[in-house]
Amino acid sequence: MSSPKNGFYRQEITKTLWEVRDRYRDLQPVGSGAYGTVCSAVDRRSGTKVAIKKLYRPFQSQILAKRAYRELRLLKHMKHENVIGILDVFTPDVTLEKFNGFYLVMPFMGTDLSKIMKHEKLSEDRIQFLVYQMLKGLKYIHSSGIIHRDLKPGNLAVNEDCELKLVWVYFVFLLQILDFGLARHTDAEMTGYVVTRWYRAPEVILNWMHYTQTDCSSKETHHFYPVVKDFVPYFWYSDLDQLTEIMKITGTPSQDFVQKLKSQDAKNYIKSLPKVQKKDFASVLKHASPLAVNLLENMLVLDAEERVTAAEALMHPYFEPIHDPEEEIEAEKYDDTFDNMDLPLDEWKREFSFKNGQLERPSQNKNILLC
């Protein structure tokens, strides 16, 4: 085995060899998934704790290379305090021919909303603050034309100061909103299968391959549907079970809603259901404030075209004590033209170039230095 590149060192972690920059020390395993593994580390330059992700074989196939490129592009595009972004990206490989992988460095948050909810009862003020931060992050990513397809408490990272970030990577680990691998710019090929069932919007279940930006991005608040799960005493075993439970709360949809559905099977299913009246949310959410109940009712509207958007929800009176328009910023539109590209592996590698930790378009030099 050759010596580490100058400025790097090697360490074996859970039977995997890591070769990272000298500035990152005290590596500790955090989690792993289908596409990579994550360690925490201390950045000696800043003295802060960071999360470092190592992708598994990103250039094993064209599909994996494209996913890796998308993840890096998405992370670089996100520049918002409530959305996971990237602090550094590096590779120990020195030429394009030897370029086999890279590392992503992100903020380390420490825990996620799912764990917090399991171990403590959240006060009204804390709930208000967490939901406000989540909506700010959602407004930002939606404004860029990007959607998050598996937004759930486990993908909402929180630090000790109750600061929240939406996390996106190819697998979920216990840090911020971390699922950029599942987050996609809107396209006509999206299905609901990647979305944890409890967190699927009704339109995802009903339309599957007809998932549009109207369904899930500009009007997307499908991440609030897990609230319905807490209204029933058992788990759902199928999407239709879930849909039935949702409608026990929201009521049977109108004929206008049914006509909007693109799937004839979905139309037939809705028509076959017995008529159910919408529940009084205040009677279900007995311990929530009237403003919180009203906000939730606006979020849990079956028709996505009538459902409140993240931007609209931020204007709700529930957030009046903490509402700050200057913090509710929008993003630049995300350029997804590369999503339609089908390149050989060598060409995908050429799309990556590192200079001082920043992704740039490489030159045509086949021996480009990746530093």
Please state the residue numbers annotated as binding site for ATP: 54
How far lies 364's CA from each of 96, 262, 328, in Å? 11, 46, 40
Verify whether residue 336 is a known catalytic residue: no
Helices and strands counted in the chain (H then E): 13, 14
Evaluated on CA atoms 40, 46, 47, 48, the torsion sign reads negative
Q: CA-to-CA distance for 217 and 243, rounded, in angstroms?
A: 20
Q: CA-to-CA distance for 367 and 350, rounded, in angstroms?
A: 10
Task: Name the catalytic one among 88, 93, 150, 215.
Answer: 150
Q: CA-to-CA distance for 44 and 302, rounded, in angstroms?
A: 50
Whose tokens are 């190819």? That residue is 170
Closest CA to 71 of 83, 61, 86, 82: 86
Beta-bridge partners for 308: none
Residues belonging to the binding site are 54
Q: Give the list of residues 6+ apart from residue 228 with CB closer than 8 angstroms, or none.
A: 245, 246, 249, 300
Which string of DSSP letters, residue by residue, matches 53-102? Answer: EEES-TTSSHHHHHHHHHHHHHHHH---TTB---SEEE-S--STTT----
Write out the catalytic residue numbers: 150
